């Protein structure tokens, strides 16, 4: 079991991450949260503060993580506030409009900047920090969409694939140093990010359910976690579908 006493969460205002934060606070963790929207960040932190025990610290800072120059200072600020950092969860992201991306190069690049580049920048800083510290856990929310590019969602998928692959390598590198790297791959989750999807069938999970899986994966130092778990065999099948058949499907 990994100690998750002091956790930094990037993108804490997302439905999944704020639920993760609640569950960690219930287990006694201190939290430093970063979110883009100041009002939303404040209401998430207020909620955590109401739930915390006397000795726990709840703090945070608003920031647009697309601005990579802020990352170092945010990390330092978290470390100063919490005393030390045991774990980092990178949870920020956007779900791009695939059709808009197809029409616009800047939109495509911006989406890759948010979902892959800024996450990788944060992971690099966290890895360096934990290496120096000699312990730590790095988790990030990737997606099943990164397992194979699909016509309906491949800009997002490509960004998440980059993130997943980066984490595979990072895990490989940090393994001898006993620093855990946890890749979270949720399937469809009913959150504001997916509010535009009208018919949510049986494949959809709730943010609470996914958050429970994330906390469990972090506590157990798991490597790659599909949430809910049935996505692992599903994505295995999709990855191994012969291209000739795959191309004919409207996935």
Partner 1 sequence: MRGPLSWNRWPRVDHRAVITLQHRHDPLPKVTGFMLAHGAGRSYGDVCLNAQGTLLLTRRLDRFIEFDRYAGRLRCESGVLIHDALQLIVPQGWFLPVTPGTGYVTIGGAIANDVHGKNHHVAGSFGHHVRRLGLLRSDGSEIVCSPAEHSAWFAATVGGLGLTGLILWAELDLLPISNPFMLTQSRCLRSLAEFWDVSAQMSESWPYTVAWVDCLAGGKRRGRGVFFAARHAPPQVRLPLHRERRLSFPFDPPFSLVGTLSLRAFNELYYRRSRPTAVTLQHYSPYFYPLDRIRNWNRMYGRKGFLQYQCVLPFDASREALPALLAATAKRGQGSFLAVLKTFGGMSAAGMLSFTRPGVTLALDCAIRGASTFALFQELDAIVSSAGGAVYPAKDACMAPRLFRSGYPRIDEFHKYMDPQFSSSLWRRVTA
Contact set with partner 1 (CB under 8 A): 15, 39-40, 43-44, 46-47, 49-51, 192, 195
Nearest approach, Cβ of residue 226 and partner 1 (Å) = 25
50 versus 132: smaller Cβ distance to partner 1: 50
Is there a catalytic annotation at residue 226?
no
Task: Give all strands of the β-sheet with 224-227 in edge-to-edge order.
Answer: 58-62, 30-35, 6-10, 87-90, 137-141, 180-186, 224-227
Alpha helices in the chain (DSSP H): 15-26, 38-51, 71-82, 98-103, 105-112, 118-133, 154-174, 207-219, 231-240, 243-246
Nearest approach, Cβ of residue 50 and partner 1 (Å) = 4
46 versus 64: smaller Cβ distance to partner 1: 46
Nearest approach, Cβ of residue 46 and partner 1 (Å) = 5
116 versus 205: smaller Cβ distance to partner 1: 205
Name the catalytic one among 154, 156, 175, 226.
Answer: 156
With beta carbons less than 8 A apart as the criterion, state whether 35 and 41 touch: yes
21, 132, 30, 118: which is closest to 82 by C-alpha?
30
49 versus 150: smaller Cβ distance to partner 1: 49
Nearest approach, Cβ of residue 43 and partner 1 (Å) = 5
| Residues involved in catalysis | 156
């Amino acid at each position: 079991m990994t100690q998750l006493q002091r956790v930094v969460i990037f993108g804490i205002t997302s439905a999944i991450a704020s639920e993760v934060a609640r569950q960690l606070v219930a287990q006694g963790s201190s939290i430093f949260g970063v979110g883009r929207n100041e009002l939303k960040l404040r209401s998430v932190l207020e909620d955590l503060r109401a739930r915390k025990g006397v000795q726990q610290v709840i703090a945070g800072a608003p920031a647009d993580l697309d601005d990579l120059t802020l990352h170092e200072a945010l990390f330092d600020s978290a470390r100063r506030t919490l005393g030390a950092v045991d774990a980092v969860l990178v949870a920020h992201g956007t779900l791009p409009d695939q059709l808009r991306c197809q029409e616009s190069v800047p939109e495509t690049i911006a989406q890759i900047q948010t979902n892959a580049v800024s996450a990788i920048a944060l992971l690099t800083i966290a890895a360096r920090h934990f290496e120096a510290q000699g312990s730590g856990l790095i988790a990030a929310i990737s997606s099943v969409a990164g397992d194979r590019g699909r016509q309906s969602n491949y800009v997002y998928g490509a960004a998440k694939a980059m993130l997943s692959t980066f984490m595979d390598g990072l895990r490989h590198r940090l393994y001898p140093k006993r620093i855990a790297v946890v890749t979270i791959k949720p399937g469809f989750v009913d959150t504001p990010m997916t509010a535009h999807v009208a018919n949510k069938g049986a494949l959809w999970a709730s943010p609470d359910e996914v958050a429970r899986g994330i906390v469990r994966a972090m506590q157990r130092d798991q490597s790659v976690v599909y949430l809910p778990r049935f996505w692992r065999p599903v994505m295995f099948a999709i990855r191994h579908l012969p291209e000739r058949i795959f191309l004919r499907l409207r996935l």
